[in-house]
């Protein structure tokens, strides 16, 4: 089984709808991240969490919210989806403190907002 | 603020030839540097990292990268490219001290290896 899983893998929704993307991990890592990937823009950080009680905004958090339900679960919500939120979304985890460890990424969720 | 530049959107190389994917960075203090690879319809996968020590770092699938502090570069290299190396490659940097230790990613370079 994959260490970092994301559901759904693909989602098509309409403008104004609320949608939740879920991420689960079995690696036992404290740190979890949500990124979006757009062609030519690379990965941009939406939110990150260093433990269950710690939630931080990334560079593009507007229009998004998150919930860290447990060490293993980190959900991303779009309260009212808009077309420019169409993108590939990745969840990632990291162990330890500081920044010398690599991140582990889920397979991604392809979201289309019509 | 930290940043990463991958100056080439796409790199084309013939199978069997050496490949280089370029990365330059800007960060306060000493950097932690990473390369990741993304195959189609997959998440990013860690290749290698530079933390400290030897400037030449070896990683997965025969890749290596050279840290050059004076040029603030961390170019990814492989002596002999394979068609299966075709993928999207991302460079990332984090500060080794201070700040929130959040990595910043480059925009990615598409590597195409021709048979």
Pick the residue from chain A with its C-alpha nearest to B9.
A40
- pLDDT, one tens digit per residue, over B16-54 is 999 999 999 999 888 999 999 999 888 999 999 999 889
What's the pLDDT score for residue A75?
98
A8 CB neighbour count, 10 Å cutoff: 13
Q: Which of A88-102, B26-40, B53-67, B76-90 has the lowest mean pLDDT?
A: A88-102
The rounded distance, in Å, linking the Cα atoms of A113 and A83 is: 5
Q: Counting Cβ atoms within 10 Å, is residue A65 exposed (0-12), middle (13-18) or buried (19+)?
A: middle
Least CB-CB distance to A108: which of B34, B43, B105? B43
| SS3 call for A25 | strand
Residue A1 has pLDDT above 70, yes or no: no
CB proximity B42 to A under 8 Å? yes
Pick the residue from chain B with its C-alpha nearest to A35.
B105
Residue B1 has pLDDT above 90, yes or no: no
Taking alpha carbons only, the member of A33, A32, A24, A31 closest to residue A3 is A24
DSSP-derived pairing of the beta strands B44-50 and B31-38:
antiparallel
């Amino acid at each position: 089984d994959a260490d970092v899983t994301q559901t759904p893998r693909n989602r098509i929704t309409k403008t104004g709808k609320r949608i939740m993307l879920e991420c689960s991990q079995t690696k036992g890592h404290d740190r979890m991240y949500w990124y979006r990937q757009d062609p030519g823009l690379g990965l941009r950080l939406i939110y990150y969490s260093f433990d269950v009680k710690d939630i931080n905004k990334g560079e593009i958090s507007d229009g998004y919210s998150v919930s860290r339900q447990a060490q293993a679960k980190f959900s991303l919500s779009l309260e009212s989806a808009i077309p420019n939120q169409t993108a590939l979304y990745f969840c990632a985890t990291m162990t330890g403190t500081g920044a010398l460890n690599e991140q582990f990424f889920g397979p991604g969720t392809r979201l289309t907002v019509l | 603020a930290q940043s990463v530049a991958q100056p080439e959107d796409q790199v084309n190389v013939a199978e069997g030839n050496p490949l280089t994917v370029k990365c330059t960075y800007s960060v306060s203090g000493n950097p932690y540097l990473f390369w990741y690879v993304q195959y189609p319809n997959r998440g990013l996968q860690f290749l290698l990292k530079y933390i400290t020590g030897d400037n030449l770092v070896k990683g997965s699938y025969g890749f290596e990268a050279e840290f050059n502090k004076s040029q603030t570069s961390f170019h990814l290299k492989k002596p002999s490219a394979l068609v299966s190396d075709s993928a999207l490659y991302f460079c990332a940097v984090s500060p080794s001290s201070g700040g929130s230790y959040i990595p910043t990613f480059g925009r990615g370079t598409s590597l195409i290896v021709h048979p």
